[in-house]
Amino acid sequence: MSSLLHITNGDSFTKRLGNLNLKGDVITWREMLCEGETLTNVGSESFWKKRYEFLHKNYKVSKSWFIEKTLKEYRSLCNHKQQDQIVLWFEYDLFCQVNMLAVISWLLANRKYAEISLVCSGKEDESDQLYGLNELTDEQLLSLYRNKKVLSQDDIEYADYVWQLYCSNNPIRLENLSDYEDFQFDYLGDAVKSHLRRFPSIANGLNEMENNILRLGNEKKPGSKGEFLGAILRNQGNLGFGDTQHERALSRLKPLFTNFNPVRLSKKGKEILEGKTSYYSCIKDNDVYLGGSLKYNFLYNTESNRILKL
């Protein structure tokens, strides 16, 4: 008799999955590998050490919290050796897609015998809207589950290859990938494009997300920081970032605002938004990684949609 393991994209969906009464054990993947340095060898001691250092420095994550929430769950995954069917529950956005690649890379190395299936939410109706798993009804989730994609060996090796490129020190190789439609990852190509647009633009030294924050502040003129964060969350495209990630971005951009209650851009903020001057030298930090690449070693050309190495 085959046994089943579900790996979910986060705690809130793990709770939701419990209501669907599906067979099998559940493991929650508690990471945000879309931010900070990543190493290819998922689950190794050096991998977790690097992740803890990033989360501790930038999000004040304590060692005890990291052990309790992330490492214990990872160890639980390591101990689930019997299941020959593994179902991955992830979403269309960059946050989820990067985590998904890492999990598949780990499974390729550690669960060669298992059948791996993917349940991925995104475009669920005729509209252009993209949906997270928790935005779907139980019926929609069960339908997605019934129609889950069983990944071929080629799919699994491709996901691992994209993960290796994500962790490499040069995003140009990732930029040159173009064969996404040959594999069963409907949202990976768009997620990679969003990732590449996180490198600073030639125009003003800010990336797409940072420019979007300035634009929203300038156009919507929110009455408070809370209102501003809400607007950013609703208008972030397919990044899938949470409050804390956007708050961290806001703190980087703080000098470009005169006020957050209500939100007002400074004179310099407006000049940067209009591309009259660059913020690159002010924001450049030699210690910021996107995957395996240093963020400020590359520039993104928004006209040609190409990455340049400095």
Mean local confidence (pLDDT), 73-77: 97
φ and ψ at residue 294, rounded to 5 degrees: -75, 125
C-alpha–C-alpha distance, residues 183 and 199, integer Å: 26
**Omega before residue 262 within 30° of 0, cis:** yes
CA distance 9 to 155: 19
Of the two residues 126 and 49, the one the predictor is more confident about is 49
CA 263 to chain centre: 27
User: Of 107, 49, 41, 105, which is closest to residue 78 (Cα–Cα)?
Assistant: 107
Asked if the model's pLDDT at residue 159 lies above 70, the reply is yes
**Binning pLDDT at 50, 70 and 90, where does residue 2 land?**
low
Q: To which residue do tokens 């669907």 refer?
A: 20
Residue 50 has pLDDT above 60, yes or no: yes
Rounded alpha-carbon distances, angstroms, from residue 57 to 166, 262, 288: 22, 29, 12
Whether pTM > 0.95 for this model: the answer is yes
- Tracing tokens 């993104």 back to the chain, one arrives at 300
Strands 289-291 and 293-294: antiparallel
DSSP annotation of 126: S
**CA 275 → CA 25, 214, 266, 271, 280, distances in Å?**
52, 12, 14, 6, 12
Residues of the chain with pLDDT > 90: what percent?
A: 98
Is the per-residue pLDDT at 1 higher than 60? no
Tell me, what DSSP letter sits at residue 151? P
Q: Are 11 and 74 a contacting pair, CB within 8 Å?
A: no
250-280 residue pLDDT tens: 999 999 999 999 999 999 999 999 999 999 9
Q: What is the pLDDT of residue 130?
A: 96
DSSP letter for each residue of 34-86: TSEE--SSTTSHHHHHHHHHHHHHHH---HHHIIIIIIHHHHHHHH--S-SEE
Q: Which residues contact 110 (CB under 8 A, 6 or more apart)?
A: 43, 78
Kindly give the pairing relationship between strand 257-260 and strand 263-265.
Answer: antiparallel
The per-residue pLDDT for 228 is: 97
